[in-house]
């Protein structure tokens, strides 16, 4: 039987208050602050994404609860400092969504998805201006994952005309950056300047993030998918080696690459 949302939310807020109670609460929760909890908040957001990617509703339910708890946690700490409470957080985001969707809550005409994206960015820019946040990159958090931040930086730059015309042009730039990295490696790894190598690899990653943006893809999502694929295929290698009484460490590279190719073939057949 579904619970009443208001009752369930109030219960969660009360649970958080008890955990933070200075006399009768949990010793661990009592000593936490915004900085110590922030990494857990980020981790929970990624776990939500992982549950979605795995297509597991029960896991998604659990992870969304964990993420909601993080919001309640931060709101409780803010309330203790006299800043705001959970109700203020919920009210503020509801007001913001109404303000940013006048075609739903106001008298404006219906918008297409693309028109809404454009209008959303205009509204966000206006809100940043009222907060005296200036500059093309104002409001882009430094703490974002690097690939995500790279995509956001290039998207903002693109809005003011500093952008490649299409994905093909970005691919050309990617080749240019790869050649610059090859030049750094011309005398071998031992002779290469580590700072220069880091700079060139960073340029390659930045261009790749830009390429994903031009293809309307999220670079973090792309990389997480590649990570999952690598784990899955390497897991197949380990599984097959177990049947042979071996481990990766006592197998040849050729043998493992053969199993990797086999894993790829199986995946293509299962699509």
* Model confidence pLDDT, tens digit, residues 174-221: 999 999 999 888 876 665 688 889 999 999 999 999 999 999 999 998
Q: What is the pLDDT of residues 60-116, one digit of tens each?
A: 999 999 999 999 999 999 999 999 999 999 999 999 999 888 888 988 888 888 888
- pLDDT attached to residue 14: 97
- pLDDT attached to residue 114: 82
Checking if the pLDDT of 239 tops 90, the result is: yes
- pLDDT attached to residue 191: 58
Q: What is the pLDDT of residues 142-169, one digit of tens each?
A: 888 899 999 999 999 998 899 999 999 9
Checking if the pLDDT of 1 tops 70, the result is: no
Checking if the pLDDT of 133 tops 80, the result is: no
pLDDT-derived band of residue 2, with 50, 70 and 90 as boundaries?
low
Domains and CATH numbers, the chain: 5-100 (1.10.287.1080), 140-216 (1.10.287.1080), 221-270 (no CATH)
Radius of gyration (C-alpha) of the chain in whole angstroms? 25
Q: How confident is the model over 227-253, as a mean pLDDT? A: 94
Q: What is the pLDDT of residues 40-63, one digit of tens each?
A: 999 999 899 889 988 999 999 999
- pLDDT attached to residue 192: 67
Checking if the pLDDT of 266 tops 70, the result is: yes
144 or 18: which leads in pLDDT: 18
Q: Is 247 exposed, middle or buried (0-12, 13-18, 19+ CB in 10 A)?
A: exposed
- pLDDT attached to residue 93: 96
């Amino acid at each position: 039987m579904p619970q009443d949302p208001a009752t369930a939310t109030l219960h969660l807020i009360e649970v958080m208050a008890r955990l933070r109670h200075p006399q009768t609460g949990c010793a661990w929760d009592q000593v936490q602050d915004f900085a110590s909890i922030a990494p857990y908040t980020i981790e929970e957001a990624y776990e939500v994404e992982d549950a979605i990617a795995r297509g597991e509703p029960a896991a998604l339910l659990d992870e969304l609860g964990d993420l909601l708890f993080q919001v309640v946690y931060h709101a409780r700490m803010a309330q203790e400092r006299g800043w705001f409470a959970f109700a203020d957080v919920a009210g503020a985001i509801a007001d913001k969504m109404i303000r940013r969707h006048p075609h739903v809550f106001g008298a404006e005409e219906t918008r297409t998805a693309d028109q809404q994206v454009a209008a959303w960015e205009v509204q966000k820019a206006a809100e940043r201006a009222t907060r005296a946040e200036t500059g093309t990159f104002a409001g882009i958090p430094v703490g974002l994952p690097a690939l995500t931040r790279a995509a956001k930086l290039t998207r903002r730059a693109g809005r003011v005309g500093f952008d490649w015309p299409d994905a093909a042009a970005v691919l050309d730039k990617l080749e240019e950056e790869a050649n610059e990295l090859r030049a750094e490696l011309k005398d071998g790894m031992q002779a290469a300047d580590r700072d220069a190598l880091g700079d060139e690899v960073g340029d390659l990653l930045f261009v790749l993030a830009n390429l994903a943006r031009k293809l309307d893809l999220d670079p973090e999502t792309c990389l997480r998918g590649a990570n999952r694929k690598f784990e899955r295929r390497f897991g197949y290698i380990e599984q097959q080696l177990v049947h042979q009484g071996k481990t990766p460490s006592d197998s040849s590279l050729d043998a493992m690459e053969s199993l990797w190719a086999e894993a790829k073939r199986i995946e293509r057949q299962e699509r």
